[in-house]
């Protein structure tokens, strides 16, 4: 253990008393921490088919790290499925989750329990259990035990949520630092908006948000134009869509009629 | 090479050839049977990653093209009964509005999903089974199949139909009946379609064949004519109210479907009425089986996004 990190831990220990959640602290590592994301802006055009965001940075030696890429938070209305009359699978109730991130892609250098105690991870919002307690607490409705588990399955099936244990690579860097790197795969279904990539550091059960960088996902070109028209001028968009459909339909009809005439 | 294209309203990238192929298959069925094909295409689009609301709305948009193309082909062949189509359409609009009210009432009472799904399965199962066995019997009986199946068995319905006032001759269909019949049946199909959230072509076609006694070839063209107006209305409403029409998705689908619709209309002319009916019955039964399996097999996740029916 370096003298720098030992002193960091001492400072952290002092700070702990003043913090609401034990183990969430400033580790005093500000000066040597860095993070770079590439690309920092994602343009969604007609050829967009998902993108891999490369995250690189430096953290103090001896730390574990977690890199979280998460999207804007919103409420999500869901329906539960269950058996009706003992054999028919149908909707059996509704539940609304509040403060749900649109995307949650987490990579860690070690298994979650090795990073910090659950209450520290919960405070930092690192890991599915942390996300669960936040989402369930904010819901105004009764949430069944299996609801969040099934919700995770749903999000994972769309590649919008994922957890990669060992997804953060740690390598020795200059002056006793560590180089961190991870890849954050954003699927084609990535909603547009402001994202944030966060780098967390963990040592001896204490965790800290070391860096956060914004990540912009925005439509460009035809994607942006069509989307704007659909959202802001719905009636005009609908009429245009019908006119073009009618035109293509009738022209094809005409073309086929001519072709069959020639064939006769 | 990746042939995916990003759909701006659906918010997902889908393979362009897959969409063209799906459009082609559904357009073919549309031209062949006079159905919009939404009951088939919408679940397929959902399966390949289009959000349910966008799938249903964009589907309506592409059906406008397929039904315009199909109506044109059938009109040239003289197999569209415009008079009957307009009366059914008026009934459909009245029934559709009533159906929207009915669905609100069902949702208030709870159990709406249950009622809708069971109605759907029973409806498809009943229509499909009846059409299948009736056409099979006619096909086995050889030329007897070309005769209108109803003449031999006067029922309560037939007696009622004969006694209704305002009888009108529909030249293209070569039937004389009370104008109230297509109007009331239009209301019924419109209401059922609204409750089940579908265009209603696959209910309208059997209604025209069995209850209005229209010849099968006129049924296909007239149904397409009616679907053209219904889907135009739905597309504009969805675009204005819900902003869920993905024009790029509809455009790719419709390039496939207009070609498919022309081919379907050509094949339709070569098959006799009972061959067409038995094929339609098989497709209706296949959709019913798919829905039934969806009800009986445990879902992959026990939670789903609301509004995803």
The closest alpha carbon to A208, from A118, A124, A128, belongs to A124
The Cα B175–Cα B275 span in angstroms is 22
- The whole-number average pLDDT for the span A85-114 is 89
Please give the residue range of the domain that contains residue A101: 26-219
Highest mean pLDDT among A52-61, A135-144, B257-266: A52-61
Closest residue, chain A, to B69 (C-alpha): A249
> Distance between CA atoms of B69 and B65, rounded to whole angstroms?
6
pLDDT category at B279 given cuts 50, 70, 90 is: confident
Whole-number average pLDDT of chain A: 85
- Residue A68 and residue A104 in one domain: yes
Please compute the mean of the pLDDT values over residues A81-110 and round it to a whole number: 88
Query: Which whole-number Å values give the CA distances from B257 to A46, A200, B86, B233, B252, in the listed order?
Result: 22, 52, 24, 19, 9
Tokens of A226: 């069509």
What was the ipTM of the complex prediction?
Answer: 0.79
Mean pLDDT for B164-170 is 85
CB < 8 Å to A226, chain B: 8-9, 247-248
- DSSP labels, A138-198: H-SS---HHHHHHHHHHHHHTTSEEEEET-SEEEE-GGGEEEEEEEEEE-TTPPSEEEEEE
% of chain A beyond a pLDDT of 90 = 56
Please tell me whether residues A48 and A128 are part of one structural domain: yes
Average pLDDT over residues B280-307: 84
Residue A200 and residue A86 share a domain: yes
pLDDT at residue B127 above 60? yes
Mean per-residue pLDDT, B191-196: 74
* Residue B166: predicted pLDDT: 85
Examine residue A12 and state whether it is found in any structural domain, yes or no. no
Q: What's the structural domain count of chain A?
A: 2
Q: How far is B164 from chain A (nearest CA, A)?
A: 38
Q: What is the DSSP letter of A206?
A: E
Instruction: Say which residue, A23 or A71, is predicted with more confidence.
Output: A71
Whether the predicted pLDDT of A14 surpasses 60: no
Residue B248 with chain A: CB contacts under 8 Å: 46, 222, 226
Decide if A188 is inside a domain. Answer: yes
A interface test, pick of B302, B306, B309 with most A CB neighbours within 10 Å: B302
| Rounded average pLDDT over B246-254 | 92
Instruction: Kindly state the average pLDDT of the residues B130-147.
Output: 73
Predicted local distance difference test score (pLDDT) of residue B196: 67
What pTM value is reported for the model?
A: 0.76
DSSP codes joined into one string, B24-89: HHHHHHHHHH----HHHHHHHHHHTT--HHHHHHHHHHHHHHHHHHHHHHHHHTT---HHHHHHHH
Q: Which chain A residues touch B111 with a CB distance below 8 Å?
A: none
B53 near B307, Cβ under 8 Å?
yes
Nearest CB to A238; choose among B6, B245, B255: B245
What is the pLDDT, as a whole number, of residue B134? 85
Chain B residues within 8 A of A46 when measuring between CB atoms: 5-6, 8, 248
Q: Residue A9: what pLDDT?
A: 40
Q: Identify which of A48, A153, A253 has the shortest CB distance to residue B301.
A: A153
- For residue B48, the chain A residue with the least C-alpha distance is A158
pLDDT at B208 over 70: yes
Mind telling me how many Å the CA of B240 is from chain A's nearest CA? 4
> Nearest-CA neighbor of A92 among A134, A132, A156, A144?
A144
The pLDDT of residue B280 is above 60: yes
Does A81 share its domain with A145?
yes
Are residues A205 and A245 both part of a single domain? no
Of B6, B251, B262, the CB nearest to A44: B6
Question: A259: exposed, middle or buried (C-beta count within 10 Å: 0-12, 13-18, 19+)?
Answer: exposed
Tell me the chain B residues in contact with residue A81 when contact means C-beta distances shorter than 8 Å: 299, 301-304
Between the alpha carbon of residue B117 and those of residues A88, A89, B38, the distances in Å are 10, 11, 16
pLDDT band at A3 (very low <50, low <70, confident <90, very high): very low
Same domain, A187 and A162: yes
CB A29 within 8 Å of CB A201: yes
Say how far apart CA A253 and CA A107 lie, in whole Å: 55
Cα distance between residue B133 and residue B137, in whole Å:
6
Same-domain pairing of A193 and A239: no
Spell B17-54 as b/e; 16+ CB within 10 A means b: eebbebbbbbbbbbbbbbbbbbbbbbbbbbeebbbbbb
Residue A59 lies in a domain: yes
Percent of all residues in chain B with a pLDDT value above 90, rounded to a whole number: 14
A147 & A186 share domain: yes
Whether residue A180 has pLDDT greater than 90: yes
Using a CB-CB cut-off of 8 Å, the residues of chain A touching B259 are 252
The pLDDT value given to residue A233: 94
B77 or A26: which carries more pLDDT confidence?
B77
């Amino acid at each position: 253990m370096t003298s720098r990190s030992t002193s960091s831990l001492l400072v952290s220990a002092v700070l702990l008393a003043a913090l609401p959640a034990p183990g969430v602290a400033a580790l005093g590592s500000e000066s040597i921490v860095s993070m770079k994301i590439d690309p920092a802006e994602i343009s969604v055009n007609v050829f967009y088919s998902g993108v891999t965001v490369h995250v690189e940075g430096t953290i103090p030696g001896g730390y574990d790290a977690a890199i979280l890429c998460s999207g804007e938070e919103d409420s999500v209305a869901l329906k539960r499925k269950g058996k009706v009359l003992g054999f028919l699978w149908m909707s059996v109730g509704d539940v609304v989750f509040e403060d749900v991130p649109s995307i949650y892609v987490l990579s860690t250098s070690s298994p979650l329990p090795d990073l910090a105690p659950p209450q520290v991870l919960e405070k930092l919002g690192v890991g599915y259990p942390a996300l669960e307690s936040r989402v369930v607490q904010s819901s105004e409705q009764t949430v069944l035990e299996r609801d969040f588990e099934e919700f995770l399955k749903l999000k994972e099936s769309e590649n919008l949520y994922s957890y990669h244990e060992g997804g953060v690579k740690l390598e020795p860097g200059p002056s006793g630092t560590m180089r961190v790197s991870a890849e954050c795969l954003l699927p084609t279904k990535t909603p547009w908006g402001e994202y944030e990539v966060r780098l967390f550091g963990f040592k001896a059960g204490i965790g800290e948000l070391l860096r956060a960088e914004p990540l912009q996902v925005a439509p460009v070109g035809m994607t942006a134009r069509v989307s704007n028209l659909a959202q802001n001028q719905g009636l005009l968009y609908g009429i245009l869509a019908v006119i073009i459909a009618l035109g293509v339909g009738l022209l094809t009809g005409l073309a086929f009629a001519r072709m069959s005439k020639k064939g006769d | 090479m990746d042939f995916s294209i990003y759909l701006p309203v659906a918010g997902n990238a889908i393979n362009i050839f897959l969409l063209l192929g799906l459009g082609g298959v559904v357009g073919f069925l549309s031209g062949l049977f006079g159905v919009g094909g939404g009951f088939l295409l919408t679940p397929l689009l959902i399966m390949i990653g289009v959000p349910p609301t966008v799938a249903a709305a964009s589907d309506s948009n592409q059906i406008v093209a397929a039904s315009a193309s199909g109506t044109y082909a059938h009109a040239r062949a003289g197999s569209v009964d415009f008079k009957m189509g307009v009366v059914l359409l008026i009934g459909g609009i009245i029934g559709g509005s009533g159906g929207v009210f009915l669905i609100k009432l069902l949702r208030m009472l709870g159990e709406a999903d249950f009622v809708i799904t069971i109605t759907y399965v029973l409806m498809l199962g009943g229509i499909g089974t009846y059409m299948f066995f009736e056409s099979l019997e006619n096909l086995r009986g050889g030329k007897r199949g070309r005769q209108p199946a109803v003449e031999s068995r006067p029922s309560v319905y037939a007696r009622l139909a004969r006694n209704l006032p305002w009888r009108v001759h529909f030249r293209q269909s070569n039937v004389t009946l009370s104008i109230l019949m297509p109007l009331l049946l239009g209301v019924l199909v419109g209401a059922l379609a609204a409750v089940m959230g579908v265009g209603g072509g696959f209910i309208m076609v059997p209604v025209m064949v069995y209850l209005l006694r229209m010849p099968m070839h006129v049924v296909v063209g007239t149904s397409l004519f009616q679907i053209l107006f219904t889907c135009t209305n739905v597309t504009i409403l969805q675009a204005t109210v819900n902003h869920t029409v993905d024009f790029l998705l509809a455009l790719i689908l419709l390039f496939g479907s207009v070609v498919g619709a022309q081919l379907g209309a050509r094949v339709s002319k070569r098959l006799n009425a009972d061959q067409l009916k038995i094929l339609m019955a098989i497709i209706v039964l296949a959709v019913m089986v798919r829905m039934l399996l969806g009800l009986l097999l445990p879902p992959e996740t026990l939670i789903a996004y609301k509004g995803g029916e």
